[in-house]
Structure formats: C-alpha cells, structure tokens
Structure 1
Amino acid sequence: MIENRPWLTGFSHLVLILGVLVVALPVWVAIVASTHPANAFGVGHIPLWFGDQAFANWHQVLIGKEGQASQVLRMTLNSLIMALGITFGKIAISLLSAYAIVFFRFPFRGLAFWVIFFTLMLPVEVRIVPTYEVVANLNLLNSYTGLTLPLIASATATFLFRQCFMSIPGELVEAARIDGAGPIRFFFDILLPMSRTNIAALFVILFIYGWNQYLWPLIVTTDDAYYTLVMSVKRMLSVPDGDIEWNKVMVSTLLAMIPPVLVVIGMQKLFVKGLVDAEK
C-alpha cells in the first residue's frame, strides 16, 4: 500500500520544477540573446526578454553579410557528416565484434573481449598524441576520414550488443542452423531485427557524442573547409580586444543544439524501449 503524503508530493514537484529551471535557464538566455543587437550585452546585464533583431541576426549567421558568405551551413554539414560517420561506424563495428565474440568459437575469444573492454579506460584525450601521429602519417589531416575513423571503435557499444546477443536462446540458433541459415543470413535476418531497439538507443547516444566532439576536430583540422559547428562557437569567442558578438554566438549555439534535440525527439520511443530492453 502506497501512503498518500501531500507534503512529499509537493516537495518532489518543487525539486523537479527547480531542476527544469536550472536546465532551461541557459537555453532561454540563448534564445533571448539571439534576438538582440550585439551592443545589448555591453551594458552590464543580460536581457531576459525578446528583442527585435531576431531576423537580422539569424540572417547574418545563416546567409552572411553583404559580400561575405556565411560558413555556418558548411560547418553544420561537416558536423553532420562527422556525427553520422562516427555513429554508423561505431554501430557497425560493435555489431560485428559482439557477433564474433558471442557466436563464434576461436582461441582467446574471452581475452579478445576483455582487451576491447579495457579500452574504456583509455579515452581519446589520453591517446590523443599517438592517434594524431597515426592520422598524420596516413595523410588524413583535414579530411572527413581523419575526423571520423579514429573515433568509430566503441567498447561500450560492443559490450551492450554482447549482452543483448547472449540473451538470445540457444534453441533459436539451432533452429536457424537446421533451416539452413548461414552466419551471414542469421546475422541479417535474425540478429539485426531483434537488436533494432538497442541500435536505436545507441544511435541517439553516439550521434550526440559525435556531434559534440570538439578536441579531436580542433587538432586534426587546420582548413576552414573542415571546421565543425561546435568549433565555430569557440572561434567566435576568440576575437581580438574581446569584442564578442554575443548575439551571433547565441544563434550558432542554438543551431548546434537543434540536430541533437531533433534526434532525441524523433527517436524517443525507441530510445527508451532500447534502454528498458537492455536491462532485461
């Protein structure tokens, strides 16, 4: 029996409301700031209500000034290519790795899995120097391959797919074998459809991971043609004499927030279902 405690319910709602305000306030400030002129931020306070320069600010960021084309759309495309490349690469490699570890018998199979799992202790920031050396020696600097290839391996996704595949009954594997399904057909016709929700959940997580990358693109790109949108926000803050155009910075920040939000909203049901199924 659940006791009815109005004070506890009210306190819980208060905590939730405060949490929403803390999270939403920076987003609100960014939205409002994108509607004001640049000089509105040099008077010692931050405006908290909309201005009348929204169209002009968004037009300058997306289209550019007269005689000077905007680079934001190209940076957005670069970020999208990088995020999708990392996402699909991680999912593909992790699926194949987990499939081999679970359903194939070969020497040192367990050792191979634990070696992959131990790489969780080595994030990109730790192995950044040798990774950069390899990419530079392969002449992959300033390229989409250099942006995505070093980041497509994922021990976390491999572990999650391994746990998912281990929950598949052995009878199903035997039935597929009796019906004449080979390894490739079993993988595409049975495993992939059964892993759909897990793939969707990982897609959301990995897309946001790839989209928000800053350090690696900053290191491997020196050509403006390969700069990402997250990098552009940082570059707009690095201006001489501290004359920062905060209205344009906030517009670029909102543009950088839109794709991850759309992915989360569009795949919300599959994302939640994939996380719930992963717990079983």
Structure 2
Amino acid sequence: MVERRPLFRIFCHVILVLGIVSIALPVWVAVVATTHENSAFSTSTPLWFGDLGFSVFRDLLSNESTFNNSSLPITDMLFNSMIMALAITVGKLSISIMSAYAVVFFRFPGRMLAFWMIFFTLMLPVEVRIIPTFEIVTNLNMLNSFSGLTIPLIASATATFLFRQFFLTVPRELVEAARIDGAGPIRFFFDILLPLSRTNIAALFVITFIYGWNQYLWPLLITTDAQYYTIVMGIKQMLGVTDGIIEWNKIMATTIIAMLPPVIVVIAMQKAFVKGLVDSEK
C-alpha cells in the first residue's frame, strides 16, 4: 500500500512548476521581444506581445532585413548549419558503429589496444585538441570549407564506446546462427546488427545532431568567409555592434529560428530517443 502524503505531493508539483517556468520564461521573453520595436528595450523588458506581430520573421526568412547596414542571409546560415549538423551526425554514427563492430566481433592483434586508445581521447578536453586540429586543417587547406567544418568533428569516442557496450549484449548464439545460415560479416552487420541498433542509433542521432547544430567555437576559428557562417555565428555577429543600436527583436527572432530544427528533431524522434537511452531488453 502506497502511503499518501498530500503536502509532499504539493511540494513536488511546486518544484516541477518552478522548473518549467525557469526553462520556459527565457523562450517566452524571446518570442515576445520579436513583436516589439527596439525602443521598447531601452527602459525594461516587455513580457507581452507588441504591435509588430511576427513580421520580423517574414523579413528574416525572405533575406530582406539588414543588420547595421550589412545583410546577413539567415536562410543561407540555416543551410550551412543543417549541412554541418547532418554531416557530423551521419559521420559520427557511421564511423562509431563500424569501429565498435570491428572491436567486438573480429579477433585481430591489438584490437583492445585500439579501443582503449580511442577511449582515452575522452580524457582530453576540447581546448587541448583545438590547436593541433586547427593546424592540421590549415595544412590541408580546409579553411573556409564544409569539409573543414565537419571532418574534424566526426570522430567520436563516446559513440564508439556506447555501440561497443550494446554489441557486447548481443547473444553469441545469434552470431553462430547467422554464420551457420551463411551470413558473412557484411550481411550480418546490415541484416541483423543494424536493425537491432535502431533505438541506439536514434538516441545518438538526436544527441549528435544537437551537438553539431550548436557548434560555435570551431566554425568561428576556421571560417573567415561569410559564405560559411552558421546560424549560431550569425547571432553573435548581430550582437557585435560597434556603432548603432542592437536590434534585439531581430536577434531574438533569429534565436527562435535557430532553436526550431533541434526541437523538431527531438519531437520527431522522442520515442526512439527515450527507448534508446533506457531500454535494457536488447
């Protein structure tokens, strides 16, 4: 019998509501800010909709809006961010799942040494790896290119480790049965292992897509051409005003637009994402 404690239940709901409000309030302020003129931010932060409506979004997406006398193509930056996020995601998943497959199902000298060398890269902070990575990208003439934006970020020790842990739970009887039926390594990988890994792939897809979409430091280092700016870089460019007024309504509108693709991916893959994280019946 479950003991009923009304006060504790009320306390839990209050904490839940406070958490929701603390998370949703900044988003609400950003949405409201897009409907006000910039003069409205000189004295206070408005909390209710203004007279502009959502015309700022229309101007941004039609590339008719300018920022401090310089045009920033929002749609082009969204396209660049999408290419970067998808390339990093597909590359991470492909390399990680194949490397984990090789480590778990093949017997070759030094396979565990190779795995632990991959795993030890998790111990290195990003700041330590940035300088040598930047030097390599520069020597390969990959600055201001999509290959420079994506290839250095594709390798993932975390995804390799997670796939390895899942592959270790696959029954050896299944491997033997596939071998008896004449399935070679490639057929076993595509026909058996990949279908079993769908939830894991979905969970890692969501995580790596958000990771690639939100990248700021790396694109900032290797891009000097506005043609390769991402949407996150664009927001920072709007804030960098030396002479003029910061156009908060356009900045907030761009922020809302930049939030939409990750939100859509999370909503679309929510069930598979949660199942891939918590499902233990493999």
Q: State the partner residue of 2:22.
A: 22
Q: State the partner residue of 1:224.
A: 226
Q: What stretches of structure 2 of length at least 5 have no aligned partner?
A: none
Q: Taking structure 1 as reference, are residues 138 and 270 closer, same or farther at Cα in structure 2, changes over 3 Å only? A: same
Tell me the CA shift for residue 54 of structure 1.
2.9
Tell me the CA shift for residue 108 of structure 1.
1.5
Q: What stretches of structure 1 of length at least 5 have no aligned partner?
A: none
Report the TM-score when normalising by structure 2.
0.95
Residue 177 in 1 paired to residue 179 in 2?
yes
Q: State the partner residue of 2:10.
A: 10
Alignment equivalent of 1:157, drawn from 156, 159, 173 = 159
Partner AA of 2:118 in structure 1: I
Query: May I ask how many residue pairs the two structures share in their alignment?
Result: 279
Tell me the CA shift for residue 225 of structure 1.
0.6
Where does 1:1-280 land on structure 2 (aligned, <5 Å)?
A: 1-42=1-42, 44-65=43-64, 70-241=72-243, 243-277=245-279
Contact 2:35 2:56 in 1 (8 A): yes
Partner AA of 2:101 in structure 1: Y
SS in 1 for 2:2: coil
Tell me the CA shift for residue 65 of structure 1.
3.3
Contact 2:63 2:75 in 1 (8 A): no
Contact 1:87 1:210 in 2 (8 A): yes
Tell me the CA shift for residue 127 of structure 1.
0.8
Report the TM-score when normalising by structure 1.
0.96
Q: Taking structure 1 as reference, are residues 66 and 172 closer, same or farther at Cα in structure 2, changes over 3 Å only? A: closer
Q: How many angstroms apart in 1 are the aligned matches of 2:259 and 2:118?
A: 32
Per-residue deviation, residues 202-250 of structure 1 (Å, max 9, x unmatched): 0000000000000000001111110000000011000113620000000
Q: How many angstroms apart in 2 are the aligned matches of 1:91 and 1:276?
A: 19
Partner AA of 1:93 in structure 2: I
Q: How many angstroms apart in 1 are the aligned matches of 2:202 and 2:13?
A: 31
Contact 2:34 2:54 in 1 (8 A): no
Q: Taking structure 1 as reference, are residues 47 and 2 closer, same or farther at Cα in structure 2, changes over 3 Å only? A: same
Q: How many angstroms apart in 2 are the aligned matches of 1:28 and 1:252?
A: 14
CA RMSD, 1 decimal: 1.5
Contact 1:31 1:250 in 2 (8 A): yes
